[in-house]
């Protein structure tokens, strides 16, 4: 069953057009990798999906409803769990307060989030501002899960982190997929990590969907053509 259907969206920053026709579907339980070189429109697509930027042409339907005209908090309430680029935990709050502030009823609660990220359990009473970058990123993912989303959206969730922490975050994403069947839209530069978790790849080029294929069909030739520098 289709959970998210983005059809032919365009988007502008002022007069400057950033998206020229993006198509992107995510089915229930599916993990989709949104790929493309820098500046091709991945983050802009996510901003349109989460209603931080209005799209102009085209449609976005989520869980059977059009998102047109909805403010971001209403779209979030339909089940969009965003982990935005850059880390934004509430620094003065503790880990536990950060998680509880985001909570909505459902499968995910403190116990499940701290089982997924044991470091968050260990640092439950610590202020978020004192966590390492990797721990803050885990907290931001934990916060998104606490909202009990139907679609988790990860925008460069491992960017700038140490290799060991990256590995922990990728392992958590694979567990999310295997154990909960959560639908995930993931933007990342690591083709290797994506190939271990994604079902399908959608590649953007110059603000358009240029290619989509099952992840197992992502060849080196495609990667060189669309992702190489």
CB atoms within 10 A of CB 39: 12
Distance CA 203, CA 22 (A): 10
Work out how close the CB of 16 gets to ligand ATP at its nearest, in angstroms, rounded to a whole number: 6
What's the 3-state SS for 189-212?
CCHHHHHHHCCEEEEEECCEEEEE
Task: Assess 13 for contact with ligand ATP (CB under 6 A).
Answer: yes
Residue 107, Cβ density class (10 Å: 0-12 exposed, 13-18 middle, ≥19 buried): exposed
Q: Figure out which of the listed residues 33, 43, 142, 161 binds ligand ATP, where binding follows CB under 6 A.
A: 43
Residues ≥6 apart with Cβ < 8 Å to 101: 90, 93, 143
Task: Assess 197 for contact with ligand ATP (CB under 6 A).
Answer: no
Stretch that binds ligand ATP, among 32-40, 74-82, 170-178, 219-227 (CB under 6 A): 32-40
Work out how close the CB of 63 gets to ligand ATP at its nearest, in angstroms, rounded to a whole number: 24
Work out how close the CB of 55 gets to ligand ATP at its nearest, in angstroms, rounded to a whole number: 12
Q: Characterize the bridge pairing of strands 151-155 and 183-187.
A: parallel
Work out how close the CB of 50 gets to ligand ATP at its nearest, in angstroms, rounded to a whole number: 13
Distance CA 211, CA 4 (A): 18
Work out how close the CB of 96 gets to ligand ATP at its nearest, in angstroms, rounded to a whole number: 32
Which of 18, 202 has the CB closer to ligand ATP?
18
Which of 63, 223 has the CB closer to ligand ATP?
223
Which of 142, 207 has the CB closer to ligand ATP?
207
DSSP one-letter code for 153: E
Total length of the chain: 229
**Contact footprint for ligand ATP (CB under 6 A):** 13, 16, 18, 36, 38-44
């Amino acid at each position: 069953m289709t959970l998210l259907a983005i059809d032919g969206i365009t988007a502008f920053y002022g007069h400057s057009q950033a998206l020229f026709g993006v198509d992107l579907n995510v089915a229930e339980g599916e993990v989709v990798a949104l790929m493309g070189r820098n500046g091709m429109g991945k983050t802009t697509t996510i901003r349109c999906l989460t209603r931080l930027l209005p799209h102009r042409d085209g449609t976005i339907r989520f869980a059977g409803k059009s998102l047109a005209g909805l403010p971001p908090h209403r779209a979030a309430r339909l089940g969009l769990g965003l982990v935005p680029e850059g880390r934004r935990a509430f620094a003065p709050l503790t880990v536990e307060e950060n998680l509880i502030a985001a909570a909505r009823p459902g499968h995910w609660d403190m116990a499940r989030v701290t089982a997924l990220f044991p470091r968050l359990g260990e640092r439950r009473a610590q202020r978020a501002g004192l966590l390492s970058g990797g721990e803050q990123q885990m907290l931001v993912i934990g916060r998104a899960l606490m909202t009990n989303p139907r679609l988790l959206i990860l925008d460069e969730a491992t960017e700038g982190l140490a290799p060991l922490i990256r590995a922990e975050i990728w392992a958590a994403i694979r567990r999310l997929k295997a154990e909960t069947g959560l639908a995930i839209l993931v933007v990342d530069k690591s083709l290797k990590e994506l190939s271990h978790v994604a079902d399908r790849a959608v590649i953007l080029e110059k603000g358009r969907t240029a290619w989509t294929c099952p992840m197992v069909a992502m060849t080196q030739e495609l990667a060189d053509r669309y992702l190489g520098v």
